Amino acid sequence: MKLWSARRGLWNRLALIKFAQADVVDIPVPGADEAPVRAVPLSQRFPGIAIHHVLVGERIPTDEADARAQNFYRFLVRLGRIFGPNVPGLPSVVADRTAALADAYTAAHRRLFPVPELPVEFRAPDLGELAVASPYDGYLKATGPDTLEWDLRSLAAYDVHPGLVRLGVAVTFVQEDGRLRATAIESELGRCVPGDADWDRSVGLALCAATTHTSLVRHYNWVHLVPGTAFAIATRNDLPTDHPLKRLLWPHVFRTHFSNWVTTLGQLSAGGDFESIFSFTRESLLRLFDDTQASFDATVVDPERDAEARGVLGRGLDLPVLANSVALHEVMRAHAARYLHAYYPDDAALGRDTAVQRWYASLDRLIPNGAAALGDVSSIDAASRLIGSLIHLVSYQHEARGTLLWNYQMWTQVQPIRVYADGRREPVDVYQRLVNANFGLNIRRTPMLADYSYLALDERGRAAFRAYLSDLLALQTRLEGEPGALWKVYPEMLEANMNG
């Protein structure tokens, strides 16, 4: 325990330094580093991380580089190897998670960022309600006129740390009077129905599977790495510095390569956050990234098309998280449309722009299974939808599948971070690491609500940037007038990009 206190003290201090010293980075006008950034396999860029099919930038462009921060992250990885934040054999976290949090989330943390709140939907957790009103809303899929499901069975193929239950889970929902009721859960714990002795544990396992998949796949692989890298590389390489589309997209891609480098190092290195917090063994974790690269379907990036593909629209279900996501998506699509109309008199003019065509060809090549599900650049309409979705990816989706989990993942009595076969709770070092990793996601970053008109080439672009800001502010006011919820994303919570 003495060894653990020393390690805990040191790693808490490092988490606090990282938080307190992070600067909000201003976005410079593009052009400082014009050399292309090639896409290379992650395992080539990070020799200790055997993920071979996910592509990342081969270098951090000089305009994104931050030598001090990069050295700090390198130091953390080296320190982690010799004096890491985990110690085997520690006792479990106390049953009262408010007390556990009071211990793990120290007064020094609280001076920098407020304590997490317990979502109302967690008070008497009901999967039927959480399926539409939580950060896990994207898992709901129709299977029949009155039946829907969560299908996370694929996670059963990944080995877990000794003593843990495997994560493959399927939940069956029945729709009655516009509401969902979970009627069965299938998992390694067997097939359970409400009232069974293992029902509550199965609900916990389903939430554990959902939050694990959200953090690893939906947030890290399906925002940062797979489409995020493609978006950043195509925009940097294929659009000249003084191209209007480069100026429109620049605030949303700048610092992607830096961010992905530091976060990959911290989360996926041996002994990193992901394998130390979540259930999967290292080998399984790395395989999960390659597998979900291959199965990536860009439809997931467009909230309306994704909901349509899942069959949840038009069946009388109240989908409040989707409504919030779509409200932001509409403002982003309108911004793209206004901006493109300012520079292109018609679709044919857009079609003649070879740089735009090259940009789309790169995007389509770099996104596994192609970008077509998001739109293309054959018309201003299609291009606006595509661009609006990409901005939504790096802002709304990055927030909703990442930072927002602050108010969810700490409550491991409802949503365990690991499920132990013998019913034990997770050890104190795992909980502490979960707290510090999520705390780090809340570091203040470049906001979406800012005037980026200085990036525009001329008055046409400036006017479009200002109109976007004013639309976002109007949406902020509208949302403030509606009931609040912890799953809700407000424009003022958004960051311009996913820089770490």
**Is the Cβ–Cβ distance between 109 and 439 less than 8 Å?**
yes
Task: Mark 351-390 with x for binding to Fe ion (rule: CB under 5 A) and - for no binding.
Answer: ----------------------------------------
CA dist 296 and 68 (Å) reads 34
Nearer Cβ to Fe ion (303/402): 402
Nearer Cβ to Fe ion (128/227): 227
**Is the Cβ–Cβ distance between 243 and 355 less than 8 Å?**
yes
Q: What are φ and ψ of residue 150, in 5° steps?
A: -105, 125
Shortest distance in whole angstroms from residue 487 CB to Fe ion: 17
**Residue 227 engages Fe ion in binding (rule: CB under 5 A):** no
**Residue 266 engages Fe ion in binding (rule: CB under 5 A):** no
**Choices 119-127, 187-195, 269-277, 400-408; region in contact with Fe ion by CB under 5 A:** 400-408
Length of the chain: 500
Nearer Cβ to Fe ion (328/394): 394
Nearer Cβ to Fe ion (216/383): 216
Helices 244-253 and 459-480 pack at an angle, to 10 degrees, of 40
Chain mean position to CA 13? 26
Buried b (16+ CB within 10 A) or exposed e, 403-441: bbbbbbbbbbbbbbbbbbeeeebbbbbbbbbbbbbbbbb
Shortest distance in whole angstroms from residue 28 CB to Fe ion: 22
Give me the residues paired with residue 427 across strands: 92
**Is the Cβ–Cβ distance between 243 and 375 less than 8 Å?**
no
Nearer Cβ to Fe ion (367/404): 404
Shortest distance in whole angstroms from residue 227 CB to Fe ion: 13
Nearer Cβ to Fe ion (202/497): 497
Nearer Cβ to Fe ion (260/279): 260
**Choices 142-150, 181-189, 395-403, 471-479; region in contact with Fe ion by CB under 5 A:** 395-403
**Is the Cβ–Cβ distance between 497 and 223 less than 8 Å?**
no
**Choices 24-32, 172-180, 324-332, 397-405; region in contact with Fe ion by CB under 5 A:** 397-405
**Residue 402 engages Fe ion in binding (rule: CB under 5 A):** yes
Shortest distance in whole angstroms from residue 439 CB to Fe ion: 13
Of 159-178, binders to Fe ion (CB under 5 A) are: none
Shortest distance in whole angstroms from residue 170 CB to Fe ion: 28
Query: Site size for Fe ion, by CB under 5 A?
Result: 1
Shortest distance in whole angstroms from residue 453 CB to Fe ion: 27
Of 408-427, binders to Fe ion (CB under 5 A) are: none
Shortest distance in whole angstroms from residue 219 CB to Fe ion: 6
Shortest distance in whole angstroms from residue 402 CB to Fe ion: 4
Shortest distance in whole angstroms from residue 319 CB to Fe ion: 24
Nearer Cβ to Fe ion (234/405): 405
Position with the least CB separation from Fe ion = 402
Nearer Cβ to Fe ion (375/402): 402
Helices (H), 88-148: 97-104, 107-112, 127-130
Read off the DSSP letter of residue 280. Answer: B
Nearer Cβ to Fe ion (30/402): 402
* Residue 478 neighbours by CB distance under 10 Å: 12
Buried b (16+ CB within 10 A) or exposed e, 115-137: ebebbebbeebbbbbbbbbbbbb
**Choices 92-100, 401-409, 415-423, 453-461; region in contact with Fe ion by CB under 5 A:** 401-409
| Distance spanning both ends of the chain, measured CA to CA | 33
472's CB contacts (< 8 A; 6+ apart) are 331, 448, 449, 491, 494
22's CB contacts (< 8 A; 6+ apart) are 443, 444, 445
Shortest distance in whole angstroms from residue 445 CB to Fe ion: 9
What is the binding site for Fe ion (CB under 5 A)? Answer: 402
